[in-house]
Structure 1
Amino acid sequence: MGRSSVRGGGAGRHRGGGGDRASDLGWDDSLYEGGDGRRLSTPPRQRSYVPGDDDDEYDDYEGEPPRKKRRWGLWLAATLAFLIFGTAGAGWLYYRHLNANLGKKPLNIGTGSQVDKKPPNAAGQSELNILLLGSDDRSSEANQKLGGARDTANQKPRADVQMLIHASADRSNMSVVSIPRDTMVNIPECQDPETDEVYPATYDRINTSLQHGGPGCTVATWTKMTGVHIDHFMMVEFEGVVSMADAVGGVPVCVNQNVYDKKSGLKLTAGTHDVVGKQALQWVRTRYAWGSDLGRAEAQHMYLNAMVRELKAGTKLTDPGQLMDLAEAATKALTVDPDLGTVKKLYDLGNDLKRVPTGRITMSTMPVLPDPNNPDVTLVENKPEAAKLWQLLRDDSAFDGKDKKKAKKKTAPTGTAHPTGDVPVTVYNGTGFNSEGPVPGRAAAVVASLQGLGYGQADTNSTPRPMADTSITYGSPEEQADALALAKAIGLPDRAVKEAKGTETVTLVVGADWRTGNTYPKTAGSEAPEKAPDSADLLNGEDDEKCMEVYAPYRW
């Protein structure tokens, strides 16, 4: 495309206006010494180099000596673009061959880390959650060439890039959340399905969760943290990723200054450029030039959005040979859960996700804080801010806030509520989604309380249905008034009451947020957020005007 126009003019997209991102954050160039730009001390949002740690993540392509624990990210953009847009043309050409390329691993191997999937809405539609993982596996020669660190070839890989994709039930919007690799999290107990080895629960960086039995433990870690049911995962290695980028063609990215990051090898002049192959890999692996891991996540979001826009515009993948190359590279690079383990299922998923309008795709990064125990190296979840993201996901509400009118719209109940004694109510114990485990007999205790309120037909169902949030569902419009009356009786907010296809009676699932008492706690029932917080660094799928701000030591 030959783009070279300069966008942003140094203003960038970070809060606080124009100018130098580093100076805006109070960073000083004197933090760097020597010619390699290594940070010797750092502000809270920038991870520092620690001898023996994994900060030196790049080999350049001119033979820089191998270093430990490289990181990468191109898998994300190429894989999602392949799933949404690339599969339809190539998927059936070599069906059996491509199916054989796909690796398969169990979805969730955590102990007590499963969350029940919500029933379909009144229209029979179900939301969809997919966890994208990037493995730094260097067991193959090709992966070692791309990622370096041959001396770590026998080590267990880590999931250095992680993003959760949430497609709304009606496919009107999509929300994507990244978590920085060095975020400290609670990793639940996991059992490796191949060796039966049990990995005890621990507190560690989220990228190490992959080493606890495979991708199923990373899924379990996300589930425990978010309370979101995850339907599928996709994990990609280095090998084939560059080939995928070559098959797709160039993707436009923008920098507001000339940039040269010796660690990744990325060197661009100010303006917009189409990056492909090795240069695309350099773009999504770059961290130092953007100032932090959070900047790298932002660059990956920019790349992914641009790829989606290019593919939707029809400027890519018009050649059958190009489609075949993409399908071959993508399937070789992918490991998925068994329920997503054929090209047809990927094809169907791609067609399904393709319905989401580009303008309703919102990228975000989980809000984080410096780790109090190691502020220069690791991060922790900013719980009050991150909780808003998780609540939006669990409520199937868009990050962009455009669903707020729909959420606030009240539908008048059909008819009036029946006498409590005439309303069958089924109660489930969903308190198992909690680090303390389920509350024994919780459903029976709530049933006893309901019977005291006149609900003589209330009864328990012993099937486990672990959920983060307490909810009431009903199966037909005629039951809406009864469901709302039940919610009022126990102090549950109306937003937790929803029609669900296939629900036979008014159903109450007592979630992990209501472990004791006869009435729902008011603190748990506070108003749900209308949109994602600004601290999540939101980026809209149609935003093609943003440029990455280059940290001063990496300008030339």
Structure 2
Amino acid sequence: MNELPTRAQARAQEKSAGPSVARHGRLKRHSPFTTVAALLLGVLAVAGISTAGVAAYATYDVAASLKPAVKLVNAKGQVVTPGIGAMDGAFNVLLAGSDSGGGNKAYGDRGENLNDVTMLLHVSADHKNATVVSFPRDMYVPIPSCPDGKGGSYDAMSRQKINNTLSYGGLACTVLTVEKLTGLDIPYAGVIEFDGVIEMSNAVGGVDVCVAGDIKDPYTGLDVKAGENTLQGQQALAFLRTRHGVGDGSDLGRISNQQVFLSSLVRTIKSADTLANPVKVYALAKAATSSISLSESLNNPTTIASMAMALKNVDVAKVVFVQYPNHYEGDGVAPTKDAASTLMTALHDDKPVTLTGDTGVGSEAAPGAQAPAAQAPATQVPATQAPATQAPGGTSATAPADGSSVQLPSDVHGQTAAQVTCSKPFQD
């Protein structure tokens, strides 16, 4: 399969009061990895500390910018810190990845600010499940009216690629667009740049990834050999940015390749080697919180710590990475409505999801790895089911009566953090 075609210029019939929607060539401009990892993995890292430890970290970060304060201690001489509990109920967090490079000249001057990676984290109300949805950058979606930052607003557009939203109306526009697309309320959001990825991979001493064959991508500088590779620093960033080196050379292949890395990173963070090492825990948490531009609702260490406590006991098998259902259309992709409705209705109803399809064009199961027991074939639907629930757009999603997970169609790709997968080299 050929790579996803070059981005088209903004459609002439779309009139807007805002800035023109800039595009960049797919071969001369290589898009970055910028992802939900900073928040998801940062809070998981913080969660490895005890409740008091999380509070101490949050208190320290707040106090660091203030005048030295008097420390209060208890009768045993131990520092007294406020208690922080888990965030109540379910919550959604969106992270957009800017391809601007954060002003770092080493990444070049792109002259525009596109969200080439957009991910949504949904944590269930019982804090037992976490779902991370990746939205393909070249997916055509409606963009609602967005604030222009000067008290006015930009006009809505009926059909544009989702990665234009960050340049069109900032992070608020990306959130509004994803809310319109998914029907979910998203109160928390952030933007992450290149350097944060490097710092996080360094903080844990590198991330082990499996590669099914040699990959050498001149566009990102990635050079890895078949087998297991421990990646950190620039090579970790190159691995997550590569598109030409994996799968079919498209952004869809890059999404599944990124999930190979993210799943391994989640396993690394949840391992005893990391959680028992306060230096690694602190370094990872610090790398995450220092590399993201956060919404006002999230720009608070106590809020992040509360999220950490909510995620603390989520099993890696219940951290699901899923690609937003899509299909090729024109020079991009379009949402696959029925499958998307099934996924979004499950999240709206706070149901965990079960993958029945493969991991995507950019990855495959590691040799000898067994599929998780929860990943049943699509034909194995529970015998007892509740009536279909109405999904956005008029379609329906079937939820098992016993409250167990909703099975996604087999054409929806992804993996759990418990699955060990390998990146697939580019095949023309």
TM-score category by the smaller chain? Answer: 0.7 to 0.9
Determine helix, strand or coil for the equivalent of 2:288.
helix
Determine if contact 2:93/2:187 at 8 Å carries over to the other structure. Answer: yes
CA–CA distance in structure 2, aligned partners of residues 325 and 189 of structure 1: 39
Match of 1:54 in 2: 24
CA contact under 8 A between 1:167 and 1:173: conserved in structure 2?
yes
Question: Aligned letter for 2:302?
Answer: K
CA distance in 2, matches of 1:200, 1:315: 51
Show the 5 A alignment for 1:480-495: none
Q: CA deviation at 1:51?
A: 10
- The residue type equivalent to 1:536 in the other structure is V
Change (3 A) 1:399 1:83: same
Over 3 Å counting, the alpha-carbon distance change for 1:379 and 1:223 in structure 2 is same
Aligned 1:403-442 pairs, distance under 5 A: none
SS at match of 1:272: strand
- Percent sequence identity over matched residues? 30
- Shifted more, 125-134 versus 201-210: the winner is 125-134
Contact 2:39 2:288 in 1 (8 A): yes
Gaps of 5+ in 1: 1-26, 28-41, 58-66, 101-123, 411-492, 497-510, 514-522
1:280 aligns with 2:236: yes
What is the CA distance between 1:542 and its match in structure 2?
Answer: 0.7
Match 2:133 to one of 177, 183, 205: 177
CA distance in 1, matches of 2:8, 2:173: 29
Determine whether 1:200 maps to 2:155: yes
CA deviation profile, 1:507-531 (whole Å, cap 9, x unmatched): xxxx987xxxxxxxxx656745831
2-structure distance, mates of 1:127, 1:408 = 26
SS state of the match for residue 274, structure 1? Answer: strand
Q: CA deviation at 1:139?
A: 5.2
Aligned partner of residue 354 in structure 2, secondary structure: coil
Q: Secondary structure at the match of 1:362?
A: strand
1:133-152 correspondence to structure 2 within 5 Å: 133-138=96-101, 140=103, 142=104, 144-145=105-106, 147-148=107-108, 150=109, 152=111
- In the alignment, does 2:70 pair up with 1:96? no
Inter-CA distance 549–317: structure 2 relative to 1 (3 Å threshold)? same
Q: 2:222 aligns with which of 248, 258, 266?
A: 266
The offset of 1:97, in angstroms, is: 6.2
Counterpart-to-counterpart distance in 2, 1:313 and 1:240: 21
1:146-545 alignment, distance < 5 Å = 147-148=107-108, 150=109, 152=111, 155=112, 157-192=113-148, 194-202=149-157, 203-290=159-246, 291=248, 292-316=250-274, 319-371=277-329, 375=330, 377-400=331-354, 527=398, 530-544=406-420
Residue 98 (structure 1) shift: 6.6
Q: CA 1:132/1:258 → structure 2, altered by over 3 Å: closer, same or farther?
A: same
Alignment partners' CA distance in 1, 2:307 and 2:44: 7
8 Å Cα contact 1:362-1:540 kept in structure 2: yes
Counterpart for residue 426 of structure 2: 551
Q: 1:407 to 1:175 in 2, by over 3 A?
A: farther
- Cα displacement string for residues 434-453 of structure 1 (whole angstroms, at most 9, x for unaligned residues): xxxxxxxxxxxxxxxxxxxx
Aligned partner of 2:40 among 67, 77, 80: 80
Kindly indicate whether the alpha-carbon contact (under 8 Å) linking 1:392 and 1:399 is maintained by their aligned counterparts in 2. Answer: yes
For residue 76 of structure 1, report the CA deviation from its aligned partner: 3.1
Question: Displacement, 1:224?
Answer: 0.7
SS of residue matched to 1:344: helix
Q: Deviations over 1:113-156 (max 9, x none)?
A: xxxxxxxxxxx96222111211123452x3x31x32x252xx3x
Amino acid at match of 1:204: Q
TM-score by length of 1: 0.59
What RMSD in Å do the two structures reach over aligned CA positions? 3.2
Matched letter for residue 4 of structure 2: R
* TM-score, normalised via structure 2 length: 0.75
> Residue deviations 1:18-64, cap 9 Å, x none?
xxxxxxxxx4xxxxxxxxxxxxxx3xxx313579952447xxxxxxx
Which residue identity is paired with 2:130?
A: M
Aligned residues: 359
- The Cα offsets for residues 87-120 of structure 1, whole Å up to 9 and x where unpaired, read as 64673474126789xxxxxxxxxxxxxxxxxxxx
| Residue-by-residue CA offset, 1:150-199 (whole Å, 9 max, x unaligned) | 252xx3x221111111111112222221111011110000113x322311
Give the 3-state SS of the residue equivalent to 1:281 in structure 2.
helix
Shift in alpha-carbon separation, 1:385–1:323, aligned structure 2, 3 A: closer
Q: Show CA shifts across 1:435-494 (max 9, x none).
A: xxxxxxxxxxxxxxxxxxxxxxxxxxxxxxxxxxxxxxxxxxxxxxxxxxxxxxxxxx69
Work out the CA distance in 1 between the residues paired with 2:381 and 2:175. Answer: 32
